[in-house]
Amino acid sequence: MTAPVAPSASAVSDPLRLATIGAGRIGSHHAEIIARHIPGAALSAVVDPIAGAAERLAAELGVPHATTDPDEVLGRADIDGVLITAPARCHTDLVVAAAAAGKHIFVEKPMAVTPADADRAIGAADEAGVVLQVGFNRRFAPGFAAARAAIVEGRAGTPHLLRSLTRDPGPFTADPARIPRWTIFLETLIHDFDTVCWLNPGATPVSVHATADALIRPDAKATGHLDTAVVTIRFDNGAIATTEASFSASYGYDVRAEVFGSAGMVTAGDARSTDMTFYGADGIHVDTARRDTELLRAAYTAELTAFTAAIRHRTPAPVTGHDARRALAVALAAIRSVETARPVDLAEVTT
Amino acid sequence: MTAPVAPSASAVSDPLRLATIGAGRIGSHHAEIIARHIPGAALSAVVDPIAGAAERLAAELGVPHATTDPDEVLGRADIDGVLITAPARCHTDLVVAAAAAGKHIFVEKPMAVTPADADRAIGAADEAGVVLQVGFNRRFAPGFAAARAAIVEGRAGTPHLLRSLTRDPGPFTADPARIPRWTIFLETLIHDFDTVCWLNPGATPVSVHATADALIRPDAKATGHLDTAVVTIRFDNGAIATTEASFSASYGYDVRAEVFGSAGMVTAGDARSTDMTFYGADGIHVDTARRDTELLRAAYTAELTAFTAAIRHRTPAPVTGHDARRALAVALAAIRSVETARPVDLAEVTT
Amino acid sequence: MTAPVAPSASAVSDPLRLATIGAGRIGSHHAEIIARHIPGAALSAVVDPIAGAAERLAAELGVPHATTDPDEVLGRADIDGVLITAPARCHTDLVVAAAAAGKHIFVEKPMAVTPADADRAIGAADEAGVVLQVGFNRRFAPGFAAARAAIVEGRAGTPHLLRSLTRDPGPFTADPARIPRWTIFLETLIHDFDTVCWLNPGATPVSVHATADALIRPDAKATGHLDTAVVTIRFDNGAIATTEASFSASYGYDVRAEVFGSAGMVTAGDARSTDMTFYGADGIHVDTARRDTELLRAAYTAELTAFTAAIRHRTPAPVTGHDARRALAVALAAIRSVETARPVDLAEVTT
Amino acid sequence: MTAPVAPSASAVSDPLRLATIGAGRIGSHHAEIIARHIPGAALSAVVDPIAGAAERLAAELGVPHATTDPDEVLGRADIDGVLITAPARCHTDLVVAAAAAGKHIFVEKPMAVTPADADRAIGAADEAGVVLQVGFNRRFAPGFAAARAAIVEGRAGTPHLLRSLTRDPGPFTADPARIPRWTIFLETLIHDFDTVCWLNPGATPVSVHATADALIRPDAKATGHLDTAVVTIRFDNGAIATTEASFSASYGYDVRAEVFGSAGMVTAGDARSTDMTFYGADGIHVDTARRDTELLRAAYTAELTAFTAAIRHRTPAPVTGHDARRALAVALAAIRSVETARPVDLAEVTT
């Protein structure tokens, strides 16, 4: 049997017709960007298994096609690509199905939660010849992109110490019982694992030590919930990276990186929301961004713009399945490190 | 004869069809925003009197209609509105013509260079019932908008001292002989005149003192070129505003405001281009924005989004012809102050 | 009759013995610095005309000699120098008397309030061969000193636009009726007049335009009180300086400078009190300095250290009587500008 | 035998007479502060075993007594206290000897390099009833002190994540062969170990994981030199601290802390040296501090001022021998973690 052939450049309909699979918070955000803010792209369909969810989002964005069935969308010949923003556990199967249908794929992180699934997703996209891009949004934030550029230019020399952190805005209001045990590693820190790899070009992570706890909701620890974590990563070029995450930053959304190298240091990320500063009787005050969709608005738009450009120009995805697999390996090593209370070599979890 | 009636809300074609008159630097920038970044808006035509200019821009943006004749566009029934980005001296006549044709109007500053022309433009738009918005972009920069919000909320109390500045990026490479004598007031500081009025809500400027010189190109002073200016403005609530401009900031584009009031101070504007910071052997380094279209990118998009929203929702323009007339009066008083080397009451130039 | 000869280098007692004339707020602060924080200097006497004031300060600092009579101190052969921190109107007479007694002199600003008095003070010190240093403290603040160094090195090119401001911490609680009419110019902005002259090396101020009002205490305007002022100064190298002052900054003490030149911009001054930053539910918060003696602590210590060094090493004072005279001329021109509501040439007030 | 009784408050000579034991880089710096900048303190003697070193420093500071023999100084009845700034391996014996002689003691970190020695030092000072203060300078830096105050006030809630780092200024020019193998832990990170304990009041460190390498001088690794390290510390209140150090920061001296808690975040430390900012053709530039004695000047003065105040007022030292013992335990655990490549409980190294 022959793999479906992805639409050739010339065959790409104009505008690009995309569908979103998953109409939750981030899915809705991506959908709105595609529908309204990416020139040359159109949102043609919305899929969500929850009855009514796709309809509501489609109505809001003026999208003609809403359904609970992904196959309905994957079967449409006029759809060029899909955004997969479903729950993490469904990502790989959806990637494989979309690739089999010849659709270009933007998949939210984590692309997969096992190395085998990561390989399956990568293989499916390769075989189908479709673009497969993973949602590591930091890479598209202007400050992070400038940091990477400075490092690639050699301005910081060889990286020795790296840091990346993610702190979700608080107060924490989720139900810990509904958060899968390893979410802080697989869904949150996975961003930071990618960031430190990406900011240490050419190096490979070799071992990991993780510490994690339930500090925001200590009562939830018994059921396996972890809300605070620090992961130290050793690279084959000697660099030592520290990544950390918390599910409740009182002051808003906070995403930062720091690379200290032999010739200099680069930092990126700033919690302030605008360049307005207020000076009052209590001192100096600066507003912060309270949501990722505010702090990383430009990054979300840029990553989807890059996705459509990769489709249109047949260029490689700027964030690949291999990048996702690498970050996953770090996450799995971190999880095993927590389980065993010792450092873990990546070789243990990837073979 | 009855004035043409502007398209009613229900009659507005979907998407809004806009034309740009003037395909120069800022006209091209606006055109690209309309064509690619304003959901629900389409660029339907490009006009420029220079042979080939409109064609080039239209081709780049995939716009079907390019012409040297504004009337061709104003005569099209399917065009909802126009962006007037022609040379300043042509603005009023184009506003009047566009209004007469029933088109909604976004006009770059200055809308007019005489009070009579300002009145003529305002009257024409009023009579036609069209939206007339003026390009005071600062109001849409996130930091400036937050500053205004803080002031309106009363956080700074009553304004006592205000500051607004514009410094164009250097090095200065223009031919001073081709810059009209009072450009620094009519085209550059007019932004700052509007800013200090807008940040001092409810107050009216009453007198002006200006100092100006040719410091960047002293050789050009003989021909009337002024490249550096400071204007002090007195308001009827006692507030004193200082505005300043230079045509050559070595470090890039610089636009800032400061409002000091009885209860606090608000500042807005920051020359840095991203939140990346580099630390090297020479100290700490931060990149700056080298162009207005980079520093004010979000503002340019927001003002055009606001324009399309005003058309669609039949709401008042967020920057009106009266705002333009007020800023013009300050500019004319500043010019007279330079000519007479004394403070000038606004009453002298507006009656 | 021969002028008393100032103590020769070898004759300077070790430690330097200084007396302070004036035990008010700033006098007490200087006294404490001399007594405790200048190695090689000792505070030997305190003078204040108010009964008990000198005694209290002397007791607090362990100084053996307290008196209401300056002549008692000027007559002591073992006193090397005096700090004159009396009310402004007394400064010149005290300078002249101290010089006549052969004492080195540190005098708070303003050294004099008329050009004739300024000349008298300068002449007396010259004749006596004593050090005469004026209390323009900004010059010794680390950021301001670094700004001046950058300008002297030419990093900013030729200055085109300068700014200096002083905002006293609020809320304003003084009795306006007890503040002399022109205090904002003679005692507050005189700092800024010196700052912009000092940051524009080699240039001479030529004309001044001032605007001032009672905005903090409008009720006090009838009695001549002015609490808010903006002064624009033109220099013979074309540079335009803006200086401003307010008597009530809700957020604390604020002293800043900005020099924009042909090759770059230098800024100095920062209202924050430490490098601690707090991020909380309301956003980012930074503490400010509430008093000059906190914000400018290092500057106050450095200027008195420089004074003792000038005495010990027989080097010129780092801030001279001529500097004071120049700043005074600007202040007098500003006052006349307010009185006449027009720009005033410095020649009008200095000849 | 009765322990010597420390001088009673009334017996403390006025000024306090102090001696410094160790005239190296930091010893000379402390000596200069005592000699010139601490009111009420005098430097009465300098000790250094290297022939001529004490004489040179004593001559520079006008100190009458220089010697190679500490006993000469400890035997002087008129000496109130000593600063011990000798090599680390000598600290404990000198503390014990000074205590035995009834001298108050300021000892540079590390006070001891074994728990037994730490106990010996603490015991000797307790028995003698003398002040024993350890040189953890960060606690006296204004920003760090403000951070601690904010935490003690509860503004940040319960600490969850802490960070402290020390980066010595580069380029690294020392001879790695002359640096003891564990210096990065015992002499550098010991500051950070104290900082994170101090910023997590009431909590106790329980386990440590360390990673270290020779990245600046890989050639020196064979001889045991480590120049880069990251240490993760777990506390009994659940908080996770990350500390890191490097011996070569190209951009200068860098000391920072961050405490993220349930209610907010506090940061302290800033590499910039003044509030001057330069804007030029290459962007924005800020100068950095190149030496600890520049960046931490205020802290060094404040810690010695606090030491003299503790002596004079018979108050407890602000940094105690127990603080030193706690930081040492973390350092020893970090060393064992590097040796064993696993996390280490503090109980393993302290019992």
A277 Cβ under 8 Å from any chain C Cβ: no
Between these two residues, B1 and B81, which has the higher pLDDT value? B81
Residue range B167-173: average pLDDT?
95
Q: Which two tokens stand for residue A290?
A: 């309270």
pLDDT, tens digit (0-9, with 9 covering 90-100), for C102-148: 999 999 999 999 999 999 999 999 999 999 999 999 999 999 999 99
Show the beta-strand stretches assigned E in chain D.
16-21, 41-47, 65-67, 81-84, 104-107, 132-134, 159-169, 205-213, 228-235, 240-249, 254-261, 265-268, 277-280, 283-286, 344-345
Identity at D237, one-letter amino acid code: N
* Percent over 70 (pLDDT), chain B: 96
Q: Under DSSP, is residue B132 helix (H, G, I), strand (E, B) or coil? A: strand
DSSP label at A108? P
What residues of C are in contact with residue D143 (Cβ under 8 Å)? Answer: 274-276
- Evaluate whether C77 touches C312 at the Cβ level (below 8 Å): no
What residues of A are in contact with residue C270 (Cβ under 8 Å)? Answer: none
pLDDT, tens digit (0-9, with 9 covering 90-100), for B179-194: 999 999 999 999 999 9
pLDDT in the model for residue A234: 98
Distance CA D163, CA D260 (A): 9
B284 Cβ under 8 Å from any chain D Cβ: yes
Q: Do A287 and C285 touch (CB under 8 A)?
A: no
Distance CA C83, CA C308 (A): 11
Q: Which of D29, D23, D14, D25 is nearest to D45 (CA)?
A: D23
Report the residue from B36, B40, B269 with minimal CB separation from A39: B36
Q: What DSSP letter does each residue of A272-295 carry, written as one string?
A: BSSS-EEEETTEEEE-B--SHHHH
Q: Under DSSP, is residue D150 helix (H, G, I), strand (E, B) or coil? A: helix
C281 Cβ under 8 Å from any chain D Cβ: yes
pLDDT band at C3 (very low <50, low <70, confident <90, very high): very low
DSSP label at C272? B
Q: Do D147 and C36 touch (CB under 8 A)?
A: no
Identity at D108, one-letter amino acid code: E
Q: Do D262 and A251 touch (CB under 8 A)?
A: no
pLDDT(B165) > 80: yes
Provide the angle, in degrees to the nearest 10, between the axes of the packed helices D297-313 and D142-152. Answer: 60
Q: What are the residues whose beta carbons fall under 8 Å from the beta carbon of A11, sequence distance 6 or more?
A: none
pLDDT in the model for residue B39: 85
Residue range D16-45: average pLDDT?
95
Residue range A282-291: average pLDDT?
95
pLDDT in the model for residue C237: 97
Distance CA A147, CA A139 (A): 10
- Evaluate whether B267 touches A280 at the Cβ level (below 8 Å): no
Distance CA D139, CA D151 (A): 13
Residue range C227-248: average pLDDT?
98
Distance CA D90, CA D113 (A): 10
On average, the pLDDT of chain C sits at 94
Q: What are the residues whose beta carbons fall under 8 Å from the beta carbon of A175, sequence distance 6 or more?
A: none
Residue of A nearest to B33 (CA): A39
Between these two residues, A2 and D231, which has the higher pLDDT value? D231
Distance CA A44, CA A66 (A): 9
Report the residue from B35, B40, B142 with minimal CB separation from A274: B142
H runs (alpha helix) in B38-181: 53-61, 70-74, 91-100, 115-128, 142-152
Provide the angle, in degrees to the nearest 10, between the axes of the packed helices C142-152 and C297-313. Answer: 60
Distance CA B167, CA B179 (A): 16
pLDDT in the model for residue D351: 66
pLDDT in the model for residue C351: 66
Instruction: Identify the bridge partners of residue A220 per DSSP, sorted by sequence position.
Output: none
Q: Which two tokens stand for residue C250?
A: 């809700």
pLDDT(D125) > 50: yes
Residue range D255-267: average pLDDT?
98
Distance CA A333, CA A330 (A): 5
Distance CA D29, CA D156 (A): 35
Report the residue from A158, A211, A342 with minimal CB separation from D232: A211
Q: Do A147 and B276 touch (CB under 8 A)?
A: yes
pLDDT in the model for residue A40: 87
Q: Which two tokens stand for residue D224?
A: 């045991």
pLDDT band at D9 (very low <50, low <70, confident <90, very high): very low
pLDDT, tens digit (0-9, with 9 covering 90-100), for D200-251: 999 999 999 999 999 999 999 988 899 999 999 999 999 999 999 999 999 9
What residues of B are in contact with residue C216 (Cβ under 8 Å)? Answer: 160, 262
Q: What's CA B300's distance to the chain center, in Å?
A: 10
B288 Cβ under 8 Å from any chain D Cβ: yes
Q: Do C228 and B244 touch (CB under 8 A)?
A: no
Q: Under DSSP, is residue D296 helix (H, G, I), strand (E, B) or coil? A: coil
B152 Cβ under 8 Å from any chain A Cβ: no
Residue of D nearest to A155 (CA): D250
Distance CA D94, CA D4 (A): 16
pLDDT band at B14 (very low <50, low <70, confident <90, very high): confident
Q: Which two tokens stand for residue C287?
A: 């503490």
Report the residue from D284, D286, D288 with minimal CB separation from B288: D284
CB proximity under 8 Å: A 91-110 to D:
none
Q: Under DSSP, is residue A3 helix (H, G, I), strand (E, B) or coil? A: coil
Return the residue matching tokens 């899968």.
A180
What residues of B are in contact with residue A263 (Cβ under 8 Å)? Answer: 280-281
Q: Under DSSP, is residue A214 helix (H, G, I), strand (E, B) or coil? A: coil
pLDDT in the model for residue C137: 98
Instruction: Identify the bridge partners of residue A152 per DSSP, sorted by sequence position.
Output: none
pLDDT(D169) > 80: yes
* Backbone Cα Rg of chain D: 20
pLDDT band at A351 (very low <50, low <70, confident <90, very high): low
Distance CA A256, CA D265 (A): 14
Q: Under DSSP, is residue B217 helix (H, G, I), strand (E, B) or coil? A: coil
Q: Do C283 and A252 touch (CB under 8 A)?
A: yes
A209 Cβ under 8 Å from any chain D Cβ: yes
Would you tell me how many other CB atoms lie within 10 Å of the CB of residue A88? 18
pLDDT in the model for residue D206: 98
CB proximity under 8 Å: A 222-241 to D:
228-230, 232, 234, 238-240
Report the residue from D144, D267, D278 with minimal CB separation from C277: D267
pLDDT in the model for residue C2: 40
Would you tell me how many other CB atoms lie within 10 Å of the CB of residue B69? 11
Q: Is D112 buried (19+), middle (13-18) or exposed (0-12) by CB count in 10 A?
A: buried
Instruction: Identify the bridge partners of residue A132 per DSSP, sorted by sequence position.
Output: A105
Q: Do C251 and A286 touch (CB under 8 A)?
A: no
- β-pairing, A205-213 with A254-261? unpaired
What residues of B are in contact with residue A35 (Cβ under 8 Å)? Answer: 39
What residues of D are in contact with residue C257 (Cβ under 8 Å)? Answer: none
pLDDT band at A1 (very low <50, low <70, confident <90, very high): very low
pLDDT, tens digit (0-9, with 9 covering 90-100), for D179-190: 999 999 999 999
Return the residue matching tokens 């399956």.
A120
DSSP label at A60? H
Q: What are the residues whose beta carbons fall under 8 Å from the beta carbon of C2, sequence distance 6 or more?
A: none
| CA distance, residue D169 to nearest chain B CA (Å) | 10
Q: Which of D34, D133, D122, D22 is nearest to D73 (CA)?
A: D22
D40 Cβ under 8 Å from any chain C Cβ: yes
CB proximity under 8 Å: C 245-274 to B:
246, 248-251, 254, 260, 262-265
Distance CA C337, CA C189 (A): 14
- Evaluate whether B200 touches B235 at the Cβ level (below 8 Å): yes
Q: What are the residues whose beta carbons fall under 8 Å from the beta carbon of C222, sequence distance 6 or more?
A: none
pLDDT(D347) > 70: yes
What residues of D are in contact with residue A215 (Cβ under 8 Å)? Answer: 158, 160, 238-239, 262
Instruction: Identify the bridge partners of residue B20 per DSSP, sorted by sequence position.
Output: B46, B83
pLDDT(B5) > 80: no
Q: Which of A93, A74, A82, A103 is nearest to A21 (CA)?
A: A82
What residues of C are in contact with residue B248 (Cβ under 8 Å)? Answer: 262
Distance CA B296, CA B289 (A): 9
Q: Is C93 buried (19+), middle (13-18) or exposed (0-12) by CB count in 10 A?
A: middle
Q: What DSSP letter does each residue of A217-239 carry, written as one string?
A: -GGGGGGT---EEEEEEEETTS-
- β-pairing, A254-261 with A240-249? unpaired
| CA distance, residue C132 to nearest chain D CA (Å) | 25
* Percent over 90 (pLDDT), chain C: 91
pLDDT, tens digit (0-9, with 9 covering 90-100), for B319-351: 999 999 999 999 999 999 999 999 999 999 986
Q: How far is the CA of A341 from the CAs of A229, D208, D305, in angstroms? A: 13, 11, 45
- β-pairing, A65-67 with A41-47? parallel
- Evaluate whether A70 touches A94 at the Cβ level (below 8 Å): yes
Interface-testing mutation among D260, D338, D339, D342, with chain A (most A C-beta atoms within 10 A): D260
Would you tell me how many other CB atoms lie within 10 Å of the CB of residue D175? 9
pLDDT, tens digit (0-9, with 9 covering 90-100), for A216-273: 999 999 888 999 999 999 999 999 999 999 999 999 999 999 999 999 999 999 999 9
C280 Cβ under 8 Å from any chain A Cβ: yes
Element (H, E) at B162: strand B159-169
pLDDT in the model for residue D39: 85
Distance CA D241, CA C346 (A): 62
